[in-house]
Amino acid sequence: MNPLTAALLASAALVASPALAQTASPVPGYAPPAPVVAEPAPPLAPFPTQAPKLIVAISVDQFSADLFAQYRNHFTGGMARLLTGAVFPSGYQSHAATETCPGHSTILTGYRPAHTGIIANNWVDQSVGRPDKIVYCSEDERVPGKSHTDYVVSDMHLKVPTLGERMKTADPRVRTVSVAGKDRAAVMMGGHKMDEIWWWDGKTYVSYAGRAVPPVVERTRKAVADLIAKPQAPLPLPGFCKPLDREITVGGQTLGTGRFQRAAGDLAAFRVSPASDAAVLAMAAGFVQDMKLGQGPQTDILSVGLSATDYIGHALGTQGTEMCIQMAELDRSLAGFFEVLDATGVDYEVMLTADHGAHDMTERQQIRAMPMESHVSLEADTKIMSAAVAKQLGLPDSPPVLMSAESDVYINRALPPATRAKVLAEAKRRYEAQPQVAAALTREEIAATPWPKTPPETWTLKERARASYDPERSGDLLVLLRSGVTTIEEPRPGYVETHGSPWDYDRRVPILFWRKGMTGFEQPLSVETVDIAPTLAATIGLPIPGVDGRCLDLDPGPADTCKK
């Protein structure tokens, strides 16, 4: 166990402290709405005796299949343990909108974003009278005075139940816990019926308004505050990282030198470091201990969202020494977490995957034999495109005729239908003429595309878009850039690399299952993240019919896990 993980586990997970009655910051006079979910199934018989007593579902944000392949031979800790289980190196977030919120919504629901309703991190509210309201996937936009960047966290936009919800419906004694470095990870993996749900808000760990702070959260808060109050020296460089030890200048900064050195009190630098993952794992371990998860009459479920890899990737890229150090620290922090779980004596099952992949920064790709990599041109900017379309059609562009959120482009609903049709046709023509644009698909084209039935790597762009399409939230036009073109117009400190494309470097992620005593195997053929929920459900004998995913047989012998 690395020293950082050991210190956090010792102070956050193992030391007792009195419970405090503090809550997350409430909005005066506001009561969160009741979630809208599918009708629950009737309670089922107790889970079978051979079922694991605790399911631990881990998402490593931006942990691409490429990163997994690059570092799998260097893992010696927690990741090495998972490699002895069932390994699916070509898992797919098969949809086009490869972002954090939609990706997390697939992992424990078994549904693609077209059914979860989480089409992107943000979308435009198309309701009458609100044509320009951007909605964040985990906000309640009905709260007065709030916006998609200053919001009250809510689960109201997730349209389907998670595995934890289904388990709790089958047996109310099931405990469900979700902790993460981002609110959208905690919410989308946890769902609507949570015993405990906590996330990092940029300053500390919070939950919904009105929740009492349990001792483990208070301990974690204190441990992290003490850690941040002290400066952090550069982390050591593992030997296998030395070939990557090259500086690069991008976005007005030189990367590859800091190695997570942090000044005292720097909250932002803590988030963009391996320490933030170690803290989330420490809190998760504390919940296992304090709540005695897995020691009750039924199977409990713990979801863990580790966000540091994503923050590090965006700020520093995927192919530098920083990401290499992160992979080593993640491996060691997971080892410490599993040691705590082992000590409980609980029969637990682990699943680890990612919400999406990523692509390294354009500048480093260009000097590594990929000169075709590029930043998106300003000509594709929605404001510029809107002004050009309005001018061509003789329309005023105030308010704009086009607006966008992520890759979805929306036409101003205040325009007459005939004018909207002209705007759509002209916008589609102009986008398709852009050399960096692979496709500009109308909502009618996407809606008319049959649901894909072949392996995800064979899907057309329309089929990938179909898996993300929700008629209530998707745009009038979906603009997809060509492979290797990043949506970052100009890199800047904290933002040199991103994801969100329909290409496999953003879609492919590893999917790993582990349980003590299982016979391990590797299946190189493609599977999907929507297969995770029905697979985990099968191990506890809980049928979840009607989902988009399929059960993966984790028993390499003649017995079929999915038919038990």
Q: What is the DSSP string of 1-32?
A: --HHHHHHIIIIISS----B---B-PPTT--P
Three-state secondary structure readout of 322-371 = HHHHHHHHHHHHHHHHHHHHHHHCCCEEEEEECCCCCCCCHHHHHCCCCC
- Residues near 368 by beta carbon (within 8 Å), at least 6 away in sequence: 319
Cβ neighbourhood burial of 524 (10 Å; 0-12, 13-18, 19+): exposed
Give dist(CA 257, CA 70) in Å, integer: 21
Give dist(CA 286, CA 219) in Å, integer: 9
Amino acid letter, 516:
K
Ligand-binding annotation for 412, yes or no, is: no
Strand partners, 50: none
- Classify residue 452 by its DSSP letter: P
Length of the chain: 564
Give dist(CA 482, CA 435) in Å, integer: 8
Give dist(CA 423, CA 411) in Å, integer: 7
Give dist(CA 552, CA 531) in Å, integer: 7
Ligand-binding annotation for 121, yes or no, is: yes
Ligand-binding annotation for 506, yes or no, is: no
Helix (H) or strand (E) segment spanning residue 315:
helix 308-316
Annotated catalytic residue within 23, 49, 98, 100: 100
Is 110 within 8 Å of 532 (Cβ atoms)? yes
Query: Residue 417: helix, strand or coil by DSSP?
Result: helix
C-alpha torsion 444→445→451→454, nearest 10: -170
Strand partners, 486: 375
Provide the H-helix boundaries in 72-203: 78-82, 100-107, 113-116, 163-170, 183-190
Q: In this structure, what token pair is assigned to residue 86?
A: 């069932």
Q: In this structure, what token pair is assigned to residue 219?
A: 């301990």
Is 135 within 8 Å of 124 (Cβ atoms)? yes
Q: Quick check: is 176 catalytic?
A: no
- Cα angle 386, 389, 390 (rounded to 5 degrees) comes to 85
Query: Residue 227: helix, strand or coil by DSSP?
Result: helix
Beta strand pairing call for 196-200 and 205-206: antiparallel
Give dist(CA 477, CA 445) in Å, integer: 9
C-alpha torsion 5→6→7→12, nearest 10: 80
Question: Which phi and psi (to 5°) does residue 310 adopt?
Answer: -70, -50
- Cα angle 451, 158, 134 (rounded to 5 degrees) comes to 95
Ligand-binding annotation for 182, yes or no, is: yes
Q: Which residues are annotated as a binding site for substrate?
A: 121, 182-184
**Catalytically active residues, by annotation:** 100
Q: Which residues are annotated as a binding site?
A: 121, 182-184
